Amino acid sequence: MSEKKQQVSRRQFLNYTLTGVGGFMAASMLAPMVRFAIDPVLKASSASEMHAVVEVSEITKEPQRFDWTVEQVDAWYTSDVTHSAWVYKNEKDEIIPLSPVCKHLGCQVNWATNEPDEFYCPCHGGRYYKSGENVPNTPPNAPLDLYEFEVRDGTLFLGQPVPRQEV
């Protein structure tokens, strides 16, 4: 039986080594770029998340402001962000969860601080009826957004605020 000796020449050895090292370096440079490019696809969507806000039994006919905190991950930075809603039940006992963000320039509206049955924005005197519709001839030109919501086991869960048609 003849013994075959596999000889690797110096040139082949250098070729294999340089190809291996070059491939490793290229992969280490490309991997973070690919990861960055497809990151939004890999991330779970927070847009559809619903958050427990209040027991339905606590909701009255008078709008009340409720706050909740959400952990927000922005790349490698994690922070707590507080969201708010004005929530009440209308005459038909339907839950109305309004965004407090003024549709003029984004200030926060308050309930009954100017007129008894209206939301009022202190920044430029914006006014909204209880339904969230903007009072004509005041700065806002659209109604307050309505939150997506659902009731589970007697608790109100809110999702994203959704813009409504202009009035």
Interaction site with ligand FES (CB under 6 A):
102, 104-107, 121, 123-124, 126, 139-140
Q: Which residue is nearest to ligand FES (CB)?
A: 126
User: What would the two tokens of residue 158 be?
Assistant: 């809110």
Shortest Cβ 125–ligand FES spacing (Å) = 6
* Cβ proximity to ligand FES, 86 vs 157, nearer residue: 86
CA 14 → CA 9, 23, 132, distances in Å? 9, 14, 74
Which residues, 6+ apart, have CB-to-CB distance to 3 below 8 Å? none
* Cβ proximity to ligand FES, 123 vs 142, nearer residue: 123
Distance between CA 131 and CA 117 in Å, rounded? Answer: 10
* Buried/exposed 19-31: b ≥16 CB within 10 Å, e otherwise: eeeeeeeeeeeee
Which residues, 6+ apart, have CB-to-CB distance to 128 below 8 Å? 109, 118, 119, 120, 121, 134, 135, 140, 143, 144
* Cβ proximity to ligand FES, 39 vs 115, nearer residue: 115
* Cβ proximity to ligand FES, 120 vs 157, nearer residue: 120
